Amino acid sequence: MGMQTSKGGSSRMAMSEINVTPFVDVMLVLLVIFMVATPMMQQGLDVNLPKTASTGVSLNEDPFVLVIDAKGRIKAGKSEMKQADLGAKIKAIFETRKNKQVYIQADKDVDYGTVAYVMGEIRTAGILNISLITIPKD
């Protein structure tokens, strides 16, 4: 705390100004910490959603479509998959495929948790391109 003296007298008065330099230093350090830590705290799944106004997708080979019906059953083609085996089966299927993209066709009455679980298992299997099949609005 600084002291102020008058030129001719011996009276001393305390300065009423606050030194803000340490406060600014601490705030800048905290700002840098949050700027570095924030990108590491992102959670969730990146999803490539198809545009509903487009005419379709052209692929060189047959698309891999997972169908989730209203009861939560998962099917790939005609074969049914259990949720517990989903990650291992998808990993085995995509070992030999060049097109590493999965299309999910889920019924609108399916629980959100089921769709999120399926997407998580697909990402765990190493497939990062996931699209949801929707019906365009009229």
CA–CA dist 81, 67 (Å, integer): 10
Which two structure tokens, joined as six digits, stand for 73? 């059953």
Above 80 in pLDDT, residue 4? no
Using pLDDT thresholds of 50, 70 and 90, give the confidence band for residue 30.
very high
Report pTM. 0.55
Q: What is the CATH number of domain 64-132?
A: 3.30.420.270
CA distances from 44 to 26, 47, 49, 52 (A): 32, 9, 15, 23
pLDDT computed for residue 5 by the predictor: 53
pLDDT tens digits for range 75-132: 887 788 888 888 889 898 888 888 888 999 888 888 889 999 999 999 998 888 888 8
Using pLDDT thresholds of 50, 70 and 90, give the confidence band for residue 46.
very low
Q: What is the mean pLDDT of the segment spanning 17-38?
A: 90
Strand 74-76 to strand 79-81: parallel, antiparallel, or no bridges (unpaired)? Answer: antiparallel
Tell me the backbone φ, ψ of residue 122, rounded to 5 degrees: -65, -45
What integer best gives the mean pLDDT of the chain? 78
Which of helix, strand or coil describes residue 123?
helix
**For the chain, which residues make up each domain, given as ranges?**
3-41, 64-132
